[in-house]
Amino acid sequence: MVSKRMLELGTARSAIRELFEYGKKRAAEVGEERVFDFSLGNPSVPAPDAVNEAAIRILREQPELIHCYTSAQGDLGARQRFADSLNGRYGTVYKADDFYVTVGAAAALCCVFHALTCPGDEFIAFAPYFPEYEVFVEGAGAKLTVIPPEMEGFQIDFEALSEKINVHTKGVIVNSPNNPSGVVYSRETLERLAALLEEKSVQYGHPIYLISDEPYREIVFAGVEVAWIPRIYRDTIVCYSFSKSLSLPGERLGYVLVPKEITDADLVYAAVAGAGRSLGYVNAPSLFQQVTSLCCDLTADISIYEHNCNLLVSELRAMGYHVVQPGGAFYLFPRSLEADDMAFCERAKQFDLLLVPGTGFGAPGHVRLAYCVQTEMIERALPKFKALADSYR
């Protein structure tokens, strides 16, 4: 016998993976240049040269720093450099001991949900949302409540949120810049959210933590502000990753930041460490703790994402697609041209356009395009998007 739920999770492929596999099969049939795969959020720009140079230098000169265990919560020097980087950018006074280094944002989120969850607890996410939240929250023994999307600009439907928060709400998850919409929450949205959470924390007599999932923090386009959320809402815990900002998804490096200002900070940090231990996540990869901490003020060349974004938004709008302008990340979340986004994605496949249905992100009637691809592929795909739109006329 094995766990029924784990068996389900291990055998049911995600819609994204399913499409990716389909794309590979189709490319073998008709040729790679004829398939337009917008399914996966795999960064298309290389990591900065400094990343590879740091890795090579450490391998050559400091072998004692790698291939070895570090402290369970991450190497002290690396954590201090993460703190220094944020302090330099945001004027904060974080210390090494506020950081728990993890295997990417996925592990950071799992550690936080496990750390915070007591029997009966609930977390809230806003659609459209990263579907793994369901798996992570449920895995920690809590319940995920989803707030339907605010359709104008994918900000927050505060009325719906206010109704859903209850005495069991332990935390609210935000992800800005957002996967899958690319939207960045405005300062006004975040201030309203902070005010509501403060009011509800008082009403229910316990803190409602804001879990800020920030793997796209640095991938933001001209003129758009990504506010430092812990400054706006005191009880914020940050989950970060270098997967996207440094184009290092395979190296699995991120962290949890538990600022000292949050309620019960020491208890929360200790519980995060306990969750890391219980999940077997201690000691993120040593080499990349060093590399990312030496390169954490750098960002991969995101100008290509901005160019791809602008190209797609203007061309798709001209064809009649409804698209909310993203402020960052590398996703676009247009409305599907029929209410049934699954049927729309099936029809898109007839044009060899691989798009992900919005239903899995909690926003039916939409599709996700990951435009972290070669610009030249987007240019070749545009006539296909036009033909797809024409097929509905």
Residues that bind ligand PLP (CB under 6 A): 41, 104-106, 130, 175, 179, 213, 215, 241, 243, 249, 254
Residue placing its CB nearer to ligand PLP in the complex, 41 or 207: 41
Gap between the Cα atoms of 98 and 148, Å rounded: 33
Shortest reach from residue 248's CB to ligand PLP, in Å: 9
Which phi and psi (to 5°) does residue 146 adopt? -110, 130
Shortest reach from residue 214's CB to ligand PLP, in Å: 8
Residue placing its CB nearer to ligand PLP in the complex, 105 or 140: 105
Shortest reach from residue 62's CB to ligand PLP, in Å: 25
Residue placing its CB nearer to ligand PLP in the complex, 41 or 48: 41
Residue placing its CB nearer to ligand PLP in the complex, 41 or 259: 41
Please report how the helices 104-116 and 132-139 are oriented relative to each other, as an axis angle in degrees rounded to 10. 40
Residue placing its CB nearer to ligand PLP in the complex, 179 or 293: 179
Residue placing its CB nearer to ligand PLP in the complex, 207 or 215: 215
Shortest reach from residue 367's CB to ligand PLP, in Å: 16
Of all residues in this chain, which one has the CB nearest to ligand PLP in the complex? 104
Shortest reach from residue 70's CB to ligand PLP, in Å: 18
Taken in order 144, 147, 151, 157, is the CA torsion positive or negative? negative
Residue placing its CB nearer to ligand PLP in the complex, 19 or 337: 19
Shortest reach from residue 252's CB to ligand PLP, in Å: 7
Shortest reach from residue 110's CB to ligand PLP, in Å: 10
Neighbouring-strand partners of residue 255: 101, 240
| Amino acid at residue number 228 | W
Long-range contacts at 192-200 (CB < 8 A, ≥ 24 apart): 192/156, 192/158, 193/156, 193/158, 193/161, 193/233, 194/232, 194/233, 196/158, 196/161, 196/162, 196/165, 197/165, 197/172, 197/233, 197/235, 198/233, 200/162, 200/165, 200/169
Shortest reach from residue 199's CB to ligand PLP, in Å: 27
Gap between the Cα atoms of 241 and 234, Å rounded: 21
Residue placing its CB nearer to ligand PLP in the complex, 110 or 337: 110
Shortest reach from residue 150's CB to ligand PLP, in Å: 18
Residue placing its CB nearer to ligand PLP in the complex, 345 or 372: 372
Residue placing its CB nearer to ligand PLP in the complex, 254 or 364: 254
Shortest reach from residue 254's CB to ligand PLP, in Å: 5
